[in-house]
Amino acid sequence: MMIPNPMNGPGASLFASLLVSSIGIGFLIYGRKQRRLPQMILGLALSGAPFLVPGVAWMLSVSALLLAGFWVALRAGV
């Protein structure tokens, strides 16, 4: 008997997509208002990630890597 994994259900995928996309839209709106290109690019990348990455774990990992890369870029002075 297999134990169901809650991270692979349709509800988890929908929730993760909504979470990642809403964070991306927030960055996109902020970047447009402040005229900041890095925030706009990150917002577009986070908004498009749920459409391009299969699976919840991959989606969250790619999103975390994008956010970490953005943080490193900001610390470097971009």
**DSSP state for residue 6 in the 8-state scheme:** G
The CA-atom distances, in angstroms, between 34 and each of 8, 17, 23, 31, 55 are 37, 26, 16, 5, 33
Q: What is the chain's length?
A: 78
Q: What is the pLDDT of residue 8?
A: 60
* CB atoms inside a 10 Å sphere around CB 65: 11
pLDDT > 60? residue 47:
yes
Report which of residues 2 and 27 the model is more confident about: 27
- Residues 18/32, Cβ–Cβ less than 8 Å: no
Question: pLDDT confidence of 7, banded at 50, 70, 90?
Answer: low
